[in-house]
Amino acid sequence: MTETGSVTVRVPSPRKPPRDWWGLWRRPDFRRLWTGEVTSALGTAVGSVALPLVAVVVLDAPPIMLGVITASAWLPWLFIGLLAGAWVDRLSRRRVMQTCDALLIGIHLSVPLAAWAGLLTIWQLVAVALLSGGVRVFFHTAYGAIVPTLVAGSELLEANVKLRSGESAADVAGPGLAGIIAQFLGAVSAVLVHAVSYVVSLVCLSRIETRESPPERSARRGIRREIAEGVHFVSGDRYLRVLVCFSALGNVALSGIQSVQVLFLVRIVGLEPGGVGMVFAVVSVGGLLGATLAGRIARRFGTARALLACELVAAPCIVLLPLAGHRVPLAAATLAWAVAVGGIVAGNVVSGSFVQSYCPRPLLGRVRATTSTLNYGAFAAGALLGGFLGQSLGLTGTIWIMCAVLAGAATLLLLSPVRPLRDLPTVPDPT
């Protein structure tokens, strides 16, 4: 406001520039990465329901074998996870992902081909889970490391929100689609959709124009030394250390539940394949909402508070699952399950963005491999434990035990150095 004599002249304040609602959608390479990853996620969501349904409906597998199949998908992290991180930091991440897509196409095509020839066995499903899990070790490590090469550091949260929202939308559609396909065309046909999704991912990755510059050979050190650098960085940082421990313990619980959830819904609740798919579709809506709202929650309350709130909502909600269809209506248990998944997904978006911005770029592949080896190794342990407990104690009792483990993980996070913070740090902790 300015004054001229006795006349008051109101000067309008400059208008804020209009918000760019398109954001990263204007970047062709980001769109290609998003399209390929979301299509692949849709196939994975279909396959995550289809493969257990093939085991249960086609091969009449017992609970222990479902645990073995689930564990086989995660066991490779324990053996090659750290090695994958060192190699990904030496190579083009895009080339690694393309090679992985090509291998995954062949691996998953083997299931419908063997089934149509009358040769499918439960051990082939174990082999498919094990081989595809090994390939995904390299794909996942490269995927997490390629995102910062396509967007600026300030855009990482937006990028992860968009990517995770798309993946969650695929998670919503995938289980229902798998159930419909399994109901009318057979569970084996749903596995075929999984294979085709990797074709789309391969084409999209091939069209990314941004080229990476792997480190010069003179800058490279021995594989063991490079692996040790990643492990030391994670173990020496108090924030990464506590997040890895929390995630690993939580993954034991979630994988233990996952290993018996299809069998629980089919044999205890009494659902048909189509009903199983619809339950997972509703649960995945929670994941979609969590991914969509993660950025807003982090900006409104701070990244550390958002992480705590989102991750801690899972434990009290998941306890309704073992009561489904008996003491608690299936609809109520499913909605609570969806809320839990929404919190987990939102927390993963926040923590994933934190790791990408917090860690030095040359170490990112090895850091992700270190954390993923522990996290997904815990998935394998949880799956084997869930299968064993399901066989010996029953399906409902297994889920109750895993709910208690998840509560223990929540307690660990509450006692961590993250609790008093508003925002997670943006540079490594010097202490």
The tens digit of pLDDT for each residue in 367-386 reads: 877 888 888 788 878 888 98
Q: With both helix axes pointing from N to C terminus, report the angle between 122-150 and 28-53 in degrees, rounded to the nearest 10.
A: 160
Cβ neighbors of 227 (< 8 A, separation 6 or more) are: 82, 83, 85, 86, 366
Q: Does 40 have pLDDT greater than 80?
A: yes
> Residue 39: which residues within 8 A CB-CB, separation 6 or more?
170, 197, 200, 201, 204
Instruction: Provide the pLDDT confidence category of residue 82 given band limits of 50, 70 and 90.
Output: confident
> For residue 397, what are its two tokens?
């009792």
Task: Let me know: does 310 contact 294? Beta carbons within 8 Å.
Answer: yes
Neighbours of 204 (CB within 10 A): 23
Strands 2-4 and 7-9: antiparallel
Query: Which pLDDT score is estimated for 13?
Result: 41
User: With 50 as the cut, is the pLDDT of residue 332 above it?
Assistant: yes
Residue linked to tokens 């409104």:
300
Let me know: does 217 contact 95? Beta carbons within 8 Å.
no
pLDDT score for 110: 94
Element spanning 7, H or E: strand 7-9
What CATH number has the domain bearing residue 91?
A: 1.20.1250.20
What does the pLDDT look like over 208-217, one tens digit per residue? 888 776 655 5
Query: Which among 205, 204, 159 is positioned nearest to 356, based on CA atoms?
Result: 159
pLDDT, the chain, mean = 82
Please give the pLDDT value at position 262: 83
Greater model confidence, 97 or 380: 97
Contacts of 347 (CB under 8 A, 6+ apart): 290, 294, 306, 307, 310, 311
Residue that is written with structure tokens 């850091």 in the block? 367
Q: Tell me the two tokens of residue 165.
A: 């929202």
Determine contact, residues 298/157, Cβ cutoff 8 Å.
yes
Which run of H or of E encompasses 226? helix 223-236
* Residue 418: DSSP 8-state: T
Confidence of residue 127 (pLDDT cuts 50, 70, 90): very high
C-alpha Rg value of the chain to the nearest Å:
23
Does some domain include residue 51? Answer: yes
SS (H, E, C) 277-292: HHHHHHHHHHHHHHHH
Cα 345 from chain centroid? Answer: 8
DSSP run (H or E) holding 3: strand 2-4
- The two tokens of residue 161 are 């929100």
| 204: in domain | yes
Which residue range forms the structural domain that includes residue 190? 27-209+219-414
Helix (H) or strand (E) segment spanning residue 57: none
Q: What is the pLDDT of residue 310?
A: 87
Report whether pLDDT(17) > 80.
no
- Averaged pLDDT for residues 40-58: 82
Inside any domain, residue 271:
yes
Confidence at 184, pLDDT banded by 50, 70, 90: confident
Whole-angstrom Cα distance, residue 215 to residue 202? 25
How far apart CA 174 and CA 419 sit, in angstroms, is 35
The pLDDT score that the predictor gives to residue 430 is: 58
pTM for this model (two decimals): 0.69
Sign of the dihedral through C-alpha 417, 422, 424, 429: negative
Let me know if residue 20 belongs to a domain. Answer: no
pLDDT score recorded for residue 6: 39
Q: How far apart are CA 11 and CA 311, in angstroms?
A: 48
Report how far residue 109's alpha carbon sits from residue 201's, in angstroms, rounded to the nearest whole number: 16
Residue 230, in any domain of the structure: yes
Report the range of poorest mean pLDDT among 98-107, 348-357, 384-393, 404-413. Answer: 348-357
Buried b (16+ CB within 10 A) or exposed e, 101-126: bebbbebbbbbbebbeeeebebebbb
pLDDT at 169 > cutoff 70: yes
- Count of domains for the chain: 1
| Domain assignment of residue 16, yes or no | no
Q: Which amino acid is at 194?
A: H
pLDDT > 90? residue 124: yes
Tell me whether residue 423 is in a domain. Answer: no
Residue 5: pLDDT over 60:
no
189-211 mean pLDDT = 89
End-to-end CA distance of the chain: 50
- Tokens of residue 6, six digits: 């006795």
If pLDDT is split at 50, 70 and 90, which confidence band does 431 have?
Answer: low
Q: Establish if 389 belongs to a structural domain.
A: yes
What is the mean predicted confidence (pLDDT) over 174-198?
81
103 pLDDT above the threshold of 70: yes
Percent of the chain with pLDDT strictly greater than 70 = 91
